[in-house]
Amino acid sequence: MEIAVVDYKGGNVQSVLFALERLGAQPILTADPEVLRRADKVLFPGEGEASSAMQALRESGLDLVLPTLTQPFLGICLGMQLLGTHSDENDTPMLGLLPFQVQRFVPDADHKVPHMGWNNLQALRGPLLAGLTEADHVYFVHSYYAPVGAYTIAQAEHPAPFSAAVQHRNFYGVQFHTEKSGGVGTRILANFLAL
């Protein structure tokens, strides 16, 4: 099985590569459209700021390639947010694969921003999260979020519910860091590789 990790110079991909290797996979880090098209699975990790990530995607032409992919695709953190239509982070148009607009958390006395740390998942459904329960925790670090919608396959609260995981067709996204979420994250990555 060929596992491709999208290389767009946009974030720390090393942890995702290591996590896949721990599962016995041999991921290829690439920005080559041909390699991405023929891979069995594509992972799209993201960190940092939305507009510079979108600019990096445009410069490499990947903004046109990624939406055409047909194999299981997993966006992680900013990689999930980029699947939406728009982000309030520097008023950035995104890839538009899923109908959500990314918004900023508003801090209050009990809810810091970034939303940083371990939070439990709720209302889980679908094969990506198979075997997990609402007692399971995953690791989040983000200041922007996708609202809950028909595409939501898991949610978390900070303090209101937001999309912790999304799916539309072959495009999956997780707001949390699967590669940093201990055994629960490993299970989710294994589920993705088994899709």
Partner 1 sequence: MVKKRLIPCLDVRDGRTVKGIQFEGLRDAGDPVALAARYAFEGADELVFLDITATNQRRQPLTELVRDIARVLDIPFTVGGGISTVADVEALLLSGADKVSINSAALARPAFISDLARRFGSQCVVVAVDARLVDEEWQVMTRAGTTPTGRQAVDWCRMAADLGAGELLLTSMSHDGTKAGFALELTRAVSDAVSVPVIASGGAGQPSDFTAVFEAGGADAALAASIFHFNETALPALKQYLHTAGIAVRL
| R_g of the chain computed on alpha carbons | 15
Stretch that binds partner 1, among 25-33, 59-67, 145-153, 183-191 (CB under 8 A): 183-191
Q: Is 182 in the site for partner 1 (CB under 8 A)?
A: yes
Structure-token pair, residue 129:
């999260």
Task: Identify the CA nearest to 3 among candidates 26, 37, 21.
Answer: 26
Task: Identify the CA nearest to 44 among candidates 22, 26, 67.
Answer: 67
Cα 42–chain centre separation:
11
Active site residue 21: no
Q: What's the rounded Cα separation, in Å, for the pair 147 and 163?
A: 6
Structure-token pair, residue 52:
């510079």
Cβ neighbours around 117 below 10 Å, total = 11
Phi/psi of residue 14, nearest 5 degrees:
-60, -40
The residue annotated as part of the active site, out of 115, 142, 158, 179, is: 179
- One residue of 161, 180, 190, 195 binding partner 1 per CB under 8 A: 180
Stretch that binds partner 1, among 25-33, 41-49, 64-72, 164-172 (CB under 8 A): 41-49
Active site residue 34: no
Nearer to partner 1, 41 or 115 (CB): 115
Active site residue 47: no
Q: Is 139 in the site for partner 1 (CB under 8 A)?
A: yes
Least Å from the CB of residue 120 to partner 1:
8
Q: Is 49 in the site for partner 1 (CB under 8 A)?
A: yes
- One residue of 60, 81, 87, 181 binding partner 1 per CB under 8 A: 181
Strands (E), 26-151: 28-30, 41-46, 73-77, 86-87, 92-93, 101-104, 115-120, 137-142, 144-145
Least Å from the CB of residue 10 to partner 1:
10
Structure-token pair, residue 137:
């925790």
Instruction: Convert residues 64-93 into a mask of x (bound to partner 1 by CB under 8 A) and - (unbound).
Output: ------------------------------
Query: Would you tell me which residues interact with partner 1 (CB under 8 A)?
Result: 12, 14-15, 18-19, 21-22, 47-49, 107, 109, 111-120, 137, 139-143, 157-159, 177, 179-183, 185-186
Catalytic residue positions?
A: 77, 177, 179
